[in-house]
Structure 1
Amino acid sequence: MQRGHAPTTHLKCPRIDRSFLETPSHKLLFIAVSTTHGLFSTYRHQTNLQSQLMRLPKTHIYLISFLGVAFALLFVNQYTEPPKKSDESLSPKLDSISAKKQQAIRSDLQILKHTITAGESLASIFKKYDYESRDLYLLTQSEFGTALKSVYPRQELSFLVRGEELIQVKYSLNPLQSYIFDRDGDNFRSESVSPHPDRFLERKHGVIENSLFLSSQALGLSDNLIMRFAQIFQWDVDFVLDIRPGDAFSIVFESLYLNGKKVRDGEILAATFVNQGKSFEALAYATEDGRLDYFTPAGKNMRKAFLRAPLEFSRISSNFNPRRRHPLFKTVIPHRGIDYAAPHGTPVFASGDGKVIKASRTKANGKFIVISHGEQFVTKYLHLSNFANRIKKGKRVKQGQTIGYVGSTGYATGPHLHYEFLVNGVHRNPRTVQLPKAASIPPNQLEEFLYETERNRMLLTSQISNTTD
């Protein structure tokens, strides 16, 4: 035997007498044993196989035959069954084809986002990106198409394009209001989308050191919220001239969230302002016409029929004075109104509900507007740089609506608004005239008002921290 090799066993095939195979049971037994012998080479005793088989009882012969055939068939099936085709082997190819197809579809679609800037219109934006003017016309003819006729700075537009075809336009006014225009054959169908935000209450308290705006900003309050707070008390407090260090304010307001992110401030629900030791308190309440208004705890309307000042101004450059010496003509000419100095283009508001009876221009007044407020009251706005959109004679306006913009037209030494207030045709000092009140809570609704505003008032008057509750 050679070193390094395992021993080899050679098996001989036994000789079988043909007469032995004539008996069916012997033949079957031979097939079984031979198959087992041939497949596994375990039958080592090679001498006289026939004599050994003949000595077995018949029942043993049949049992051995059955087991041998069964074992042989099992072995043959195991090694002769054709391999199954695996679906998994095809999936990478199918996935690859599907991914390529989806990638081709995606690559054919393009999304363009545009933030509107001052002076832009939808027509100029379409021209900039070389979109079809016919599509612009079809968009404006859809159900919500009128929303596209006046777009404003900082609003968002997004365009979905396939090749050179405009598929979709989304116009977002703000996070809580948008319009979607989808191509539908030769037209566009449109829908208004207004997601419902989650609402949370916040309350803040501050003490003024320099100004309301600086103290409010130090608390993290937005400029918009501060402006609305000042508007609530504007009939009682002049936030330019009357503010003193040590004045205090408290505010309860809603914060609106979408997907866990704050998108803007909601309504102011309750507020107080202490000015030079005098306290003012306001509670929000929705009136029968659905308008949210502000009332004192006794149900008196915070709003007067007129604004004390019809703009956000920096200072009073000239007071009401029947014997004022005119700065240009150097002669005594009565000054029957108040001059509010403000930057050129500052919005001017209607001080009360009324009807425009003049929107014109003269050499002395420059561009000016006159509004009639019923039978008793008239207000005048002089030296405007321009009128607001659609403001003309006969136009009805609401209190606080923008009617024009500060300028220096006519006899003016610089940009300012000259404002006059007339009662029964007689000029009165706009700063001191007794202003009529707006409607208060009717006596039969007072109990409901007290019930609805109780929670917000409790939040307002409880101990307030500078953190969000």
Structure 2
Amino acid sequence: MFRTLLVSIITSFVLLGCNTGKTEKSQVKKEKQNQQVDSANVVKRDMYGTPVDSFQVADHEIKRNESLYVILDKFDFTPKEIHSFTQKARNVLDFNNLRPGQRYRTYASVDDNGISRLVWQPNKLEYVVFDWAKDSLKAYRAAHPLKKKKSVASGEVSSSLYQTISDKGASPLLAYKMADIFAWQINFFGLREGDSFNVLYEKQFIGDDFWSVGDVLAATFNHRGEIYQAYKYSNGEVEGYFTNEGKSVEKALLKAPFKFSQRISSPFSRNRYHPILKKRRPHYGIDYAAPRGTPVLSVGDGIVTKAEYGNGSGYIVKIEHNGVYQTAYMHLRGFADGIHRGAKVEQGQVIAYVGNTGMSTGPHLHYSLYKNNQPVNALGIDLPSSESIPDSLMEDFKKVRDSLNKQLESKNSNSAGDTENESMITYVNNH
């Protein structure tokens, strides 16, 4: 009896194993069939996300003197239709940007001679889609996905940062980004031979083609024997570049050159009527109506580059804050003690007093802010912030900083030029 029971149990296990094997084979077969079905259902799309199997696709090049009207006319749209399309597309397309040599692609239905979609590519990254769905135009802008790779560039300055980075095979745009980050610490027009740098940054690609330089993630600059460091850190509370200790690399600029608020009598304008010249001209600054003798403050640390009488500007003070920002203060009554060309000033220091000199209709201060030598509206621009990492985020910042340092150090041995970390890939700007 025991022998009969043992045989029965063994038989059951054998049958169970066979059935299990059959079940597994059946599941594998079913999965393969599903994969084949899914593969058959995959829609083939081109670089613009259009299902090409549904259309007859043709590529074209804009010829000399061709406009959108001429292009659409070639595809048998009526003048009335073209007028309607161009009116609807004005918010999406600047027709003045159509240039000879630019590419566009048309999509015609397989069973219809007319086109139902047109894609115009003004540059390698962006494109504009015109989609005629159910006799109505849908126009929108889009961009190709950008692939980002982390790269490291390092070297020793021989002539200029721009030239050194170019010689290392990196994009010159990287030099401009680094100069902008360290603008408060380093005078990039005063670099010395032997100054060196090490920078971790992002390269942006469209497919396999290089597009541009992305964010600088971390950088170290050895200038005249002094080490400067900057780490990019972004959190809901703070964002910017910070030193090894978590202090902001940037220094703040005051919004206005006064201790107390003063009334704005004339704002920044590209086309203001001049009360003395009796004609319209740009007003690249802000006029503050303030009592004669009101102290005028420097909005930031810097060096005085001009302190003199400037005819129409009256008494004027100009200050170079760094390689990016400059300010000018005009129609002054006079200068504060110690203010002369070459003098160093600190943020909030009294540099002059409100006056009525030059072409002026009454006591006021004309204050101008320049960024990269171009006048900007001081009230409309996002000025740098000197906010440091708060204590609540220091631990998180240190983790980010240490990780960036490891990535910099891991590439330090290959300092002959620009290297890439192929494993660090992300995608942005999807359709």
TM-score in terms of structure 2 length: 0.50
Aligned match for 1:210, one of 135, 159, 168: 159
Q: Does 1:273 align with 2:221?
A: yes
Aligned match for 1:468, one of 395, 419, 427: 419
1:204 deviation in Å?
1.1
Q: Does 1:295 align with 2:242?
A: yes
- Once the two structures are superposed, what CA deviation does each residue of 1:306-360 show, in whole Å capped at 9, x if it has no partner? 49xxxxxxxxxxxxxxxxxxxxxxxxxxxxxxxxxxxxxxxxxxxxxxx954544
User: Partner letter of residue 441 of structure 1?
Assistant: I
- Partner Cα distance (1:378, 1:137) in 2: 55
Q: Does 1:147 align with 2:147?
A: no
Which aligned pairs between 1:22-421 and structure 2 lie closer than 5 A? Answer: 111-114=59-62, 125-127=67-69, 129=71, 131=73, 132=79, 134-135=81-82, 137-138=84-85, 141=88, 146-149=91-94, 156=102, 158-160=104-106, 167-172=116-121, 174-240=123-189, 242-288=190-236, 293-306=240-253, 356-359=267-270, 360=272, 367-371=282-286, 420-421=327-328
* Contact map agreement 1:272 1:282 (CA 8 A) in 2: yes
* Contact map agreement 2:107 2:115 (CA 8 A) in 1: yes
The secondary structure found in structure 2 opposite 1:147 is: coil
State the percentage of identical aligned residues.
19
1:129 deviation in Å?
4.2
The secondary structure found in structure 1 opposite 2:67 is: helix
Aligned length: 269
Structure 2: gaps (5+ residues):
1-54, 74-78, 255-265, 291-295, 300-311, 314-318, 321-325, 349-384, 421-431
* Contact map agreement 2:268 2:283 (CA 8 A) in 1: no
- Partner Cα distance (2:161, 2:148) in 1: 26
- Once the two structures are superposed, what CA deviation does each residue of 1:53-102 show, in whole Å capped at 9, x if it has no partner? xxxxxxxxxxxxxxxxxxxxxxxxxxxxxxxxxxxxxxxxxxxxxxxxxx
User: Partner letter of residue 165 of structure 2?
Assistant: S
- Once the two structures are superposed, what CA deviation does each residue of 1:107-132 show, in whole Å capped at 9, x if it has no partner? xx7543349x9xx9xxx832564745
- Partner Cα distance (2:188, 2:98) in 1: 28
1:210 deviation in Å?
1.0
* Contact map agreement 1:377 1:422 (CA 8 A) in 2: no
Alpha-carbon spacing, 1:467–1:156, altered in 2? closer, same or farther (3 Å): same
* Contact map agreement 2:129 2:140 (CA 8 A) in 1: yes
The secondary structure found in structure 1 opposite 2:92 is: helix
The secondary structure found in structure 2 opposite 1:210 is: coil
Q: Does 1:434 align with 2:346?
A: yes
- Once the two structures are superposed, what CA deviation does each residue of 1:242-272 show, in whole Å capped at 9, x if it has no partner? 2221111111112233443333332211112
Alpha-carbon spacing, 1:219–1:280, altered in 2? closer, same or farther (3 Å): same
User: Partner letter of residue 346 of structure 2?
Assistant: Q
1:238 deviation in Å?
2.4
1:366 deviation in Å?
7.0
- Once the two structures are superposed, what CA deviation does each residue of 1:262-320 show, in whole Å capped at 9, x if it has no partner? 3333221111222222221111112427x85211121112222349xxxxxxxxxxxxx
1:172 deviation in Å?
3.7
* Contact map agreement 1:176 1:194 (CA 8 A) in 2: yes
The secondary structure found in structure 2 opposite 1:160 is: strand
User: Partner letter of residue 216 of structure 2?
Assistant: I
- Partner Cα distance (1:228, 1:153) in 2: 30
User: Partner letter of residue 255 of structure 1?
Assistant: K
The secondary structure found in structure 1 opposite 2:236 is: coil
- Once the two structures are superposed, what CA deviation does each residue of 1:366-408 show, in whole Å capped at 9, x if it has no partner? 74411489x98788xxxxxxxxxxxxxxxxxxxxxxxxxxxxx
Which is strand-richer, 1 or 2? Answer: 2
User: Partner letter of residue 296 of structure 1?
Assistant: T
Alpha-carbon spacing, 1:254–1:361, altered in 2? closer, same or farther (3 Å): same
* Contact map agreement 1:206 1:249 (CA 8 A) in 2: yes
* Contact map agreement 1:112 1:158 (CA 8 A) in 2: yes
* Contact map agreement 1:358 1:370 (CA 8 A) in 2: yes
* Contact map agreement 1:377 1:421 (CA 8 A) in 2: no
- Partner Cα distance (2:343, 2:169) in 1: 32
User: Partner letter of residue 93 of structure 2?
Assistant: L
The secondary structure found in structure 2 opposite 1:141 is: helix
Aligned match for 1:448, one of 371, 390, 396: 396
- Once the two structures are superposed, what CA deviation does each residue of 1:422-463 show, in whole Å capped at 9, x if it has no partner? 59x887779943358522222211211111232112223453
Structure 1: gaps (5+ residues):
1-104, 308-354, 380-409, 412-416
- Partner Cα distance (2:401, 2:95) in 1: 38
The secondary structure found in structure 2 opposite 1:188 is: strand
Q: Which residue of 1 aligns with 2:372?
A: none
Whose radius of gyration is greater, 1 or 2? 1
TM-score in terms of structure 1 length: 0.46
Q: Which has the higher contact order (CA 8 A, sep 6+)?
A: 2
CA RMSD of superposed structures (Å): 4.6
- Partner Cα distance (1:451, 1:151) in 2: 49
User: Partner letter of residue 160 of structure 1?
Assistant: T
- Partner Cα distance (1:245, 1:151) in 2: 46
